[in-house]
Amino acid sequence: MVVQAEEGRLTTSRVRVLVATAVPAERDAVAGAFVEPAHVVRLPGTALSLYRPDVAYDLLAAGVGPALAAARTATALTAAALAGTPYDLVVSAGIAGGFAPGAPVGSLVVADEITVADLGAETAEGFVPVTELGFGTVTHRPPAALVRLAASATGARTGTVLTVSTVTGTATRADALRERHPRALAEAMEGFGVAEAAAAHGVPVLEVRAVSNPVGPRDRAAWRIGEALAALTKAFGKLAPALESWNPHD
């Protein structure tokens, strides 16, 4: 909870957090960490589920993929800013593939780097990220103190979480990603889009992922989606109280 000085007296205000997931099942898993009922606010193309404990959480099922996640997160951020209630933090959350052995199925990952893995160009010499072509960015870095706080509260591992537009389905692709991104612990499809929207609004971002499957050959029988969603609920049950002590203005 943030303590502020106002006309010679101390007041408290809740940190406002927007949690963006891809699909409703992930949103509902996060919601399971809270006890207050949802209030839905309609926005163009989507809806927010609002939760109001000591730290105010708004939950958004933003859609699959970085483009839709960016667009809907930006819509929510803009609506809040225009209403005079801007967010202090945006969290990209959900399930993900984990790179073995660093992030086994069932583990939690907090990103210290949110990196888009396939934004660039293929050349005869290999993949070239868009930054080397002279455009944009490929990585957003959440505040280090916030990463430490989240990891300590949840017991998560920290490292790079990759954003991909095509889920990895072969060992060859997994090896190529690991070679280009040796610190990668997980891959998902929305984090970079959410981070781009947050950066455009000057709001810090965090990414929290529960690992449901190994990155590599596509084997649906090896996926543990239910276990990962349960881990996500448990993670936010620990993260929410920890964020009460976080001051976004530090």
Question: pLDDT digit string (tens) for 187-241?
Answer: 999 999 999 999 999 999 999 999 999 999 888 888 899 999 999 999 999 999 8
The predicted pLDDT at position 106 comes to 93
Confidence (pLDDT) at 212: 96
Q: What is the pLDDT of residue 47?
A: 72
Q: Does the pLDDT value for residue 86 go beyond 80?
A: yes
Helix (H, G, I), strand (E, B) or coil at 229: helix
Asked if residue 11 has pLDDT above 60, the reply is: no
Q: What is the pTM of this model?
A: 0.89
pLDDT value of position 53:
56
DSSP annotation of 53: S
Answer for the pair 58, 17: CB distance below 8 angstroms, yes or no. Answer: yes
Is 147 a residue whose pLDDT tops 60? yes
Structure confidence at residue 72 as a pLDDT band (50, 70, 90):
very high
- Per-residue model confidence as pLDDT tens digits over 125-144: 888 888 878 888 999 999 99
Lowest mean pLDDT among 13-22, 92-101, 174-183: 13-22
Burial state string for 186-218 with b = 16 or more CB within 10 A and e = fewer than 16: bbbbbbbbbbbbbeebebbbbbbbbbbbbbbee
User: What pLDDT band is residue 246 in, cutting at 50, 70 and 90?
Assistant: confident
Q: From CA 239, how far away is CA 250, in angstroms rounded?
A: 19
